[in-house]
Amino acid sequence: MPLISEDFIKNRVPKLTKESKEKFFYDTKVTGFLLRVRRGKDDTLIKTFFIEYVPPGKDRRKKLTIGNYGVFTADSAREQAMQMLQAVKNGDDPAATRAAKKAQPTIEQLWELFDEKHLSLKSGETPKDYRGRYRRIIEPSFKGRRVADITRAEVDALRVKFKHKKTDCNRALAVLSKMMSFAMLQGWRNDNPCSKVPRFTETPNDTWLDEQALPPFIAALGKVEGPMGDLLRFIAVSGWRISAARLLRWDQVNLQRLEVHLDDKATKIHATALSTDAAMLIDCQPHRMGYVFSNRKGKYPIDYGDVLSALSDVCKEAGVERITPHRLRSTCATHAAVNGANVSELMQTFGWKTPAMALRYVKRSESLARKGVERAAGIINIFNKPTADVKELSRNS
């Protein structure tokens, strides 16, 4: 019996198997470690490492594949064989362990069950958002991986890979964490590898249309005709979330009482009040069935991608920075706060569950008021404070 080594495989195996279709070589260093050499159809030699052992409670010996030469070196295959043979001494059967591991669910199987059992209970844009995060980030990162084998190190690697998309990565980690918690409930894992993984610090987007940008924006928005223009004007005047506005149905609307009945599960708040302007935009739609804002007589809502495209065109026409529909909501909330809306009114109007978000806009209005009074005081300059002289410095100085 030879010592299975790189030299033996490369130099001696071709000579020893010259007249054979299949031959086994047993290692002299580790009992039960062997190399099988089989001649292929094109006369190439296929070299595969095995262990040979007697399974616990059995009488007959059996062989179990370690892997092909090329995937394993002689030394790495021997090390793997030693671990597997030690498991046999401990009373385990490596073949049974491998079969059980193969039967463990993959990330794709976990997602199918998670989608069916968990996402089916969600409403609004949440399922769509989860599916998008899974498709863009989670599935490509863990494709084919068994759920039980996913490690904290792999989750950290995902975070590094998508560090240029901080918000998207944070949301994907939240989805993955929920999936892993769901896997624990199914008995597929004992821990959550996403636990305590740090999230990226997100900078709040405080973009909004101020008193200078708003008039040209409204003028440009007035040129957009049809349901698309009415939908954008409705969001601008009401501050509704784009998902709620797009999916608003006629059976939720009561124009006589200037209210709608929304089941807003995101905030558990029923934001029902309508302004007269918002009600007029609803009332001018030519149909009375299905979705309120629709290019197909209520059969389908307006596509979100089309909304983004139309809003981008309006911003370009108005000469203002490109904004998202949510920035229209922020604009509406800011102007409401500036014009005196208190925390309770903001919460009721915009459907916030806690005062935290409303307070952001109240503080913003206070900050704007502070800037305003300082500007006014600076112009009046009752104490005749000297003004600073601004001098342009030479680049060479």
Query: What pLDDT shows up at residue 381?
Result: 57
pLDDT band at 375 (very low <50, low <70, confident <90, very high): low
Count other Cβ atoms within 10 Å, centred on residue 339: 8
Distance CA 397, CA 394 (A): 5
Average confidence (pLDDT) over 205-221: 87
Same domain (yes/no): 137, 158: yes
Identify the pLDDT of residue 19: 84
pLDDT of residue 266: 46
Inside any domain, residue 347: yes
Query: Does residue 379 register a pLDDT over 60?
Result: no
Average pLDDT, the chain: 87
Determine how many CB atoms are found less than 10 A away from the CB of residue 26.
Answer: 15
Q: How far is CA 49 from CA 15, 43, 65, 95, in A?
A: 19, 19, 6, 15
Same domain, 63 and 158: no
Long-range contacts, stretch 36-45, CB < 8 angstroms, 24+ apart = 37/13, 45/13, 45/14, 45/17
Predicted confidence at residue 34, as pLDDT, reads 96
pLDDT score of 376? 59
317/218 Cα distance (integer angstroms): 10
From CA 85, how far away is CA 128, in angstroms rounded? 49
Question: DSSP secondary-structure letter at 43?
Answer: S
| Res. 237: pLDDT tops 80 | yes
Share of the chain above pLDDT 90, in %: 61
| Domains held by the chain: number | 3
Q: Which of 78, 97, 116 represents a domain boundary (last residue)?
A: 97
Q: Binning pLDDT at 50, 70 and 90, where does residue 269 land?
A: very low
State the CATH number of the domain containing residue 62.
Answer: 3.30.160
372 and 225 belong to one structural domain = yes
pLDDT value for 6: 94
Selected residue with higher pLDDT from 220 and 103: 220
Per the domain annotation, does 257 fall within a domain?
Answer: yes
pLDDT of residue 35: 96
Whichever domain contains 232, its CATH number is 1.10.443.10
| One domain, residues 221 and 173 | no
Q: Are residues 172 and 25 in the same domain?
A: no
Helices (H), 103-165: 107-117, 126-133, 139-142, 152-161
> How far is residue 262 from each of residues 112, 169, 268, 330, measured CA to CA in Å?
30, 30, 10, 20
Rounded Cα gap, residues 75 and 255, in angstroms:
79
Q: Is residue 157 part of a domain?
A: yes
Note whether residue 208 is domain-resident: no
Residue 298 reports pLDDT greater than 70? yes
Task: Report the pLDDT value the prediction gives residue 185, as an integer from 0 to 100.
Answer: 94
Q: Coil, strand, or helix at residue 333?
A: helix
Question: In this structure, are 57 and 124 located in the same domain?
Answer: no
Residue 207 resides in a domain = no
Q: 60-113, pLDDT tens digit by residue?
A: 999 999 999 999 999 999 999 999 999 999 999 999 988 887 788 999 999 999
How far is Cα 264 from Cα 244, in angstroms, rounded to an integer?
A: 8
Instruction: Dump pLDDT digits (tens) for 104-150.
Output: 899 999 999 999 999 988 876 788 899 999 999 999 999 999 999 99
User: Is the pLDDT assigned to residue 268 strictly greater than 50?
Assistant: no
Residues 33 and 154 in one domain: no
Q: Are residues 222 and 172 in the same domain?
A: no
Strand, helix or coil for residue 317? helix
Range of the domain at 333: 214-376
Looking at the fold, whether 36 and 166 belong to one and the same domain comes out as no
pLDDT (0 to 100) of residue 121: 85
Residue 204 lies in a domain: no
Q: How confident is the model at residue 397, as a pLDDT?
A: 45
Q: So what's the pLDDT on residue 243?
A: 87
The DSSP element (H or E) to which 24 belongs, if any, is: strand 22-26
Residue 69 and residue 171 in one domain: no
222 and 348 co-located in one domain: yes
386 in any annotated domain: no
Q: Same domain for 171 and 36? A: no
